[in-house]
Amino acid sequence: MIVKETSLKDCFVIEPTFFKDNRGCFLLEYNKKEFQEKTGFDGDFVLGNQSTSQYGVVRGLHLQRGEFAQAKLVRVVKGKILDVAVDARKGSETFGKVFSVELSADNNKQLFVPRGFLHGFSVLEDDTIVSYKCDNYYEPAAEDGVLFDDKDLNIDWQIPVDKVTLSEKDTKLKAFNGF
């Protein structure tokens, strides 16, 4: 596994070990010991989620507050996304900064998003399947988020605005400066 630091403190791009031969391929998706050694993350993933979406869907920006905060390890099983993390930890040296990376079934990259970060993604291909592990359980009352098109964050989701599809809930999120 190759671990690359991003421009955001404690946020990493992971390139898992991948083997390919005439039979097909094998991907070592996660090894707790190696992951901990290379990232410093000592939590346990306790929840696994998967979504299927069409081109133009934007999910996020979301986080869980307080004791329900979640770290996530995100990967794409099929298709392609632009995965986005925003450091929302007050006092962090990278507070309010944005990092994005293309994750796809072809490049096998993963993004580790630590607790206290907003997270979202835009779907760049139809029938894209995203799978992610969380280190804490979901609590609806702790859910929060920021508008995907927040002017201060100025995220390029790589989708024309007229092609973006949001959930009703995501249309009601607040601006980052009021977050």
Q: Which of 55, 62, 119, 137 is catalytic?
A: 62
DSSP per-residue codes, 84-109: EEEE--TT-TTTT-EEEEEEETTT--
User: Strands 128-134, 2-5: parallel, antiparallel or unpaired by DSSP?
Assistant: unpaired
CA distance 147 to 92: 21
Distances (CA, A) of 6 to 39, 50, 70, 126, 167: 12, 24, 19, 27, 29
Q: Is 30 an annotated catalytic residue? A: no
Q: Is 62 an annotated catalytic residue? A: yes
DSSP state of 96: T
Per the omega criterion (within 30 degrees of 0), is the bond before 118 cis?
A: no
Q: Which of 30, 55, 132, 137 is catalytic?
A: 132
The catalytic residues are 62, 132
